[in-house]
Each structure stands twice: as structure tokens, then as C-alpha cells.
Chains A and B, each alone.
Chain A
Amino acid sequence: MDFDFSDDQQQLRDAVRKWVDKGYDFERRRKAVAAGGFDRAAYNELAELGLAGLYVPEADGGLGMGPVEGMVVMEELGRGIVLEPLAQTLIAGGVLSGYAGDTLKAPWLPKISAGEALVVLAYQERRGRYQLGACETTATQSGAAWSLNGLKNVVAAGDQADAFIVPATVNGQIALFLVERGAAGVATRGYGTQDGARAADLQLTNAPASLITTDGLVALEHAIDIGIAAACAEAVGVMDKTVAITAEYMNTRKQFGVPIASFQALRHRMADVKMQLELARSMSYYASLKLNAPVDERRRALARAKVQLGNSMRFVGQQAVQLHGGIGVTDEYIVSHYFKKLTQLEMTFGDTLHHLGEVSARMQDTAGVFA
């Protein structure tokens, strides 16, 4: 039982923080938002730091690192509310290296690690909502070739990605496929999202696909859990910075002749914010440290984590805006962007009520960190 970071992990954190502080300031981000919400050059800079290959084995050109390293990186990207979806890349690296055959791994993993290929998960369907088992996209096999039909919504950076990991049903069972964006029968419609980033709807019409695994639901659940851990860590970074921005503002802004940080009503609110931040950080640790646990234990843990993070994110985001007063609801000032990012993260990979239902369904007689 040890929550200290190793020297290597600390160095990784420092490297990402340095890039965020020096290479990804608010102005650059603002320009990226105005240009559509995705900056390939910025994404390539992340890849140059090695981050795109974080979960890719060294033999396939990656760094072969684990969940704690993933957590450290996502926290730092969260601090800068970085738009480019590295969480998606962690999912792609984890899923392909864990479930795909060599014929898919060999061409894709090195490209993912190098940043040459952005691969994202396209799983959201209108009727499925957060239920992973509900999937209307279908796959049909003809000889050795597969083709997919269906519609996926709100796919992260969907019109910028080079390929998609797509769940589709085969004989009522979910399988996972890789679909290239440039293939015939693949159409995307891109749009901005509330947090300033980019997403797309993805229409597949007899689109050629490569089978990743027929054990699709298992792999998809794993993918989502990697995503939850990443989202939790990212949220901790976002909240950490949100709290720092708010504390600084409260010590600067004067009303009635004194800094507003001197008012007890606001101080106590800030104590509650700190509480939610630290509960969230604790559960983000928990999520990442359980990511390699046996499936049942992992799923229960990740659902618990997302409940805590969801509640914390909503509280911290809303209160940060409130504590700022009027300036908090402007686009010009930075805190509203952090608030919007937190809001979006709550609805990413299952929202709080969904995961509360998961926890509720999975409860056992005993409960605790180790059960």
C-alpha cells in the first residue's frame, strides 16, 4: 500500500506538465477551438513525447507502460484542458495490443505509437445510451471479408481520426472491428462539442472492416474501463487547476474593500470543493490501480470511481463558476472552459446515475477498497 510516485513517473509528469505549460497555452487552445476543436500538430507533439504509445508494448514501438503512467499523463493534460483525445489513443493501444491478432497489431500499433494514425472508439448509439450490450450496428461476413452497417454518434475527433474501433453484432453477439476512415462506405459528419473539442457522427454502409475480436463485449468493457480511468485522471487534473484558479481569484478580487477569500461563507464552500477534489483524486488512484484487476473486481471498481468523479466534477465545476461571480460565466475568462470540460467528462463513458446503477447491481455483502 503505497501512493508515492516513482522517480520515472515523476519525470513523466514533469515532461507532460512542461509541454502543457510552455507548448499549450490558453491562446493556442483558443485558436484550436476556433479552427474546429482538433489540432493535429498538437497531437503529434504528444506523440513525440511518446504518449501515443504509452499502452503499446515496446516490441510494437510503444513505451509499454501501465495504468499509473496513464493516470499521471492524463492528470497533466487535464490541467491544460488539452483538446486532443489522448484517452482515445490509450484505449486503442490497450484494446489492440490486448485483443487483436498479429495481422492487425503489426501494421497499426507502430503507427499509433508514432502518432501517424489516430484510432478512436466509435461505440455510441442512439438507443444504447450508456448500455454497452445494446448495439444495432451489424457486421456481415463474406469469405474472409467483413462489412459493417450502422450509425455511431459523438465519436471523439471522428472526422479527424484515421481509423475507428467499432462494436457491431454478429449473430446477436458483439464483436469488435477496425474500420479505416478512408474506406468505401464510411461517411462522417464532424462538429464541435461543448468542451471545445471535436466529434463526429459515423455512418457505415457496407463498410469494409477488420475483425479485432469476436469476444467483443469483453473487449468493449475493457476499452470503456481504460477510458473511465483516463477520464477520472483527466478530471482530477482539470479540477486541480480549477481549484487553483479559483483560489487565486478569491485572493485577488476585492469587494467591500477586502479580498473575497476573507468571507466565511465562501471559505467554507471552498473547503467543500477541496473535499470533493481529494475524494476524486483518491478514487482516480483507485480506478487506475484496479485497471488490471480481475474483470468483476475491475468493473465494480471503475463504476464506483466514475460515480465519485461525476459527483465531484459537477460540484467543483459549478462552485468554481459561482465563486468567481459574473466573470465566471464569460467565455473570455478561463474558468468557464474548465467547467465545460468537467461537464462533458461526467457524460463520457457513462454518467453518474448510470454508474450508480452499476454499483447498485454489483453490490455484495461486504464492501471496501479491497472488495
Chain B
Amino acid sequence: MDLAFTPEEQQFRDDIRAWVRDNLPADISHKVHNALRLSRDDMQRWGKILGKKGWLGYGWPKEFGGPGWTAVQKHLFEEECALAGAPRIVPFGPVMVAPVIMAFGSPAQQQRFLPGIASGEVWWSQGYSEPGSGSDLASLKTRAERRGDHYIVNGQKAWTTLGQYGEWIFCLVRTSSEGKPQTGISFLLIDMKSPGVTVRPVRLLDGECEVNEVFFDNVEVPAENLIGEENKGWTYAKHLLSHERTNIADVNRAKRELERLKRIAKTEGVWDDMRFRDQIALLEVDIVALEMLVLRVLSAEKSGKNSLDIAGLLKIRGSEIQQRYSELMMLAAGPYSLPLIHEAMEAGWQGDAAAGALGGFPGGVVANAPLASTYFNMRKTTIYGGSNEVQRTIVSQVVLG
């Protein structure tokens, strides 16, 4: 038993840190460190920088052009990126669909799709949830009917994150209504420029358009875009979920945000209020405990042991912590988190010139502008990716059978 990383792992961390320091654009990290609005260009610019280095698909094995890193190395990479203020990698291409294409796609599909994902050129979206299929995903109704060498797709996907930027979308579609709901689902890749695809952004409670509805109206999809076998899509999707282990806890971002919370608390004068500070201390304990949980899962993976009984806890705890730090940031600013000035969430906002001396952000600290929006936005974390109640049901099976 040993808490320390090996000298090789430490060296790896140092190398990553140096590279990120030299390659992460300062304007992007400034936005991330202050929760300012990231544009599509910001996200894709960082993705392409990573792609050029061969690290956008940082979880990929060497045979598909990835770095072939160990679970620990992947963790260290994620941590260094997060602490430096890099945007989260848009996961739909490199983290979500690529492993499915590698495991179940044909060589032709791999050659066709993986390069664009690895380089960050092609923006992918995820088409899983539907208006009537949230936690009960297998009840999905979007239909794909085989007509010769193509499918005709009809239906509607919901909660498609950043789908307004999407060029391709991987979808779970119903190809059969026989047997159990899970056995009639297929995994289909769809070009979002196809006629009949409509994307409608949905404004969320924070005023931003982060998710979309995607409509399919008699969309023709070449049969060659089917991954694996028809009606096996559920199995492939589950493979994808099993791929996401420690990253889902997002503990590295939580460590960065804890630093930010402390800065905000000091600026807002609540750092010396013991009642408030103890809440930060408790969050610090929560984050260290989550990090230990993550390290235990990594250690188990390293030694080839089954860590499933604790991996299921990571999503629950990680999301609760995300909600908590955003809540404490908002509460630290108190009334100065309340003004809703959208422009103040853009980098470089200089205030409202027409209002003269009163044109700045109320209270004078523009860093407070996005705090409440972030708090509202973070309510999603205990809902998405399998709601925390669904996760509890899964965890309880480990304990109770």
C-alpha cells in the first residue's frame, strides 16, 4: 500500500503539466478559471490543439492512434488539464462514440470516422434520450426502418448537449418491436446535414442554450452507418457506459473549483466567517474523500481487480460535490450573485458605458456575474448520465443483491 505515484508517473505528470502550460491558450484558461462563457470556437480550438498532439483521444489504445496510456496516466492527464484551466474535452466523439466504433465498428467505419474524431475536426453529438425515454432509456421510440441499402429514421431525440454545433450524431434507434425493449435497439451514425434533420436549441434555467431537441423526419441513413449488428445497439451502448469510470466523478475539476471558491470567499469577506468557512472545510474533506475513492478505483484497475462495487458511487458523489461548490460560490457572493447581466459573463466585458459610474457589475466584482447561473446549471448533474436515483438503485444491488 502506497499513496505516492511512482517516479515514472510523477515524471509523466510533470511532462503533461509543462506541455499544457505551453499549449493551452491563455484566453481560454481565463474563461475556464472564471466560469465565463465558452464559445464553440474555444472548445474546438483546444480540441484541435490536443488532436494535433494525438491526445484528444487520450483514452485510446495505440492501435487506433491513441497514446495507449494506463488508467493512472489518463487520470494524471485529466488532472493536469483541469487544474490548468483547460475546458473539458467535448466527450461525445473521442470519449463516447470512438470506443464503440473501435470495439464494434467495421474496419471501413473505423477508417472513415476515427481520424476526424481524433483530430477534433468533426463535432459529434449524442442521440440517446427522448421526450418519453429518460431513465427508462430502453423504451425509446425513434424508428429506423430498413429500405434496401439505407434506413429511414423518424422520431425525436432530447437533451442533446451542444447539438447545435453537431455535424454527426450517434443514435440509439428502434429497429424492432419484438421481444424485450432492449433487444430491438440499434446503434446508428447519422450525418446531421442530412435532409429531414432539425435541431432546436432549448433554453435552460440559466438562460443558456446548452441542450437541443433533434428531430428526424424521414431521414435517409446509409445502411453502412449501422454499427455492428442490427438490434444489438443496447449492448454496445452499455459497453460505452462501462468505459466511463473515474472520469465521471470529475474530481479534478472539483479541486480547481475549490480553489476558486476560496478566492471568492476571500473577496466577498466570508472567509473569516467561521460558519461559512466550516462549510468550505467540509467540502474540502468531501473532495479529498472523493479523490481517494477515485484513486482506489484506479489502483484496482491497475492491479486488474474488480472495482465495480465502488465505481458506481463515483457519479453520485461527484455530482453532489459539483452542486455543492457552485452553491457555496453563489452564497458567498450573496446578493451580488443576483444581478442577471448576460454580457458580464463574456470575457473582457467593460461594463455598460452608457450608465457611466454605475455601469460596472453591481458591487464591483464581475467575477460574481456567472455564479448563480452556474449554480442553476449544475442541477443537471444529478439528473443526467443516469439520475442519482437510478445510480442508487444500481448501488443497492451490490449491497442487497
Residue positions of A touching B, CB distance < 8 A = 1-6, 9, 68, 243, 247, 250-251, 261, 264, 267-268, 270-275, 278-279, 282-283, 285-286, 289-290, 304, 307-308, 356-357, 359-360, 363, 365-370
Contacts and interface: CB of A to CB of B under 8 A. Distances in A.
Contact of A365 (B259, B278, B299): B259
Given A360-B281, A366-B255, A2 B292 contact: no
Contact of A247 (B295, B300, B317, B399): B399
Interface in B263-319: 274, 277-278, 280-282, 284-293, 295-296, 298-300, 302-303, 305, 310, 313, 316-317
Nearest to B317: A275
Contact of A274 (B6, B262, B395): B395
A360 B290 CA distance: 18
Contacts of A268: 389, 392-393, 396
Given A1-B4, A308-B289, A369-B295, A271 B282 contact: no
A6 B291 CA distance: 23
A275 B289 CA distance: 11
A366 B263 CA distance: 10
Interface of B: 1-6, 9, 72, 255, 258-259, 262, 274, 277-278, 280-282, 284-293, 295-296, 298-300, 302-303, 305, 310, 313, 316-317, 389, 391-393, 395-396, 398-401
A268 B391 CA distance: 9
Nearest to B302: A2
Given A247-B400, A289-B3, 7 more contacts: A1-B4, A1-B9, A3-B299, A268-B396, A274-B398, A360-B277, A365-B262
Contacts, number: 145
A252 to B, nearest CB: 11
Nearest to B298: A1
A282 B5 contact: no
Main secondary structure of the interface of A (DSSP, over half): helix
A304 B399 contact: no
Given A2-B302, A275-B316, A304-B285, A282 B292 contact: yes
B395 to A, nearest CB: 4
Nearest to B256: A366
Given A267-B400, A304-B288, A366 B259 contact: yes
Contacts of B274: 357, 360
Contact of B288 (A2, A9, A365, A368): A368
Contacts of B280: 360, 363
A283 B289 contact: yes
B1 A2 contact: yes
10 contacts: A1-B295, A3-B1, A3-B295, A247-B400, A285-B292, A286-B292, A304-B289, A356-B278, A359-B282, A360-B278
Contacts of B285: 283, 304, 307-308, 356, 359
B281 A359 contact: yes
A3 B296 CA distance: 6
Nearest to B9: A1
Given A271-B396, A282-B296, A68 B1 contact: yes
Nearest to B282: A356
B255 A367 contact: yes
A370 B284 CA distance: 13
Contacts of B395: 271, 274-275
A356 B281 contact: yes
A41 B5 CA distance: 43
Contact of A267 (B72, B287, B392): B392
A4 B255 contact: no
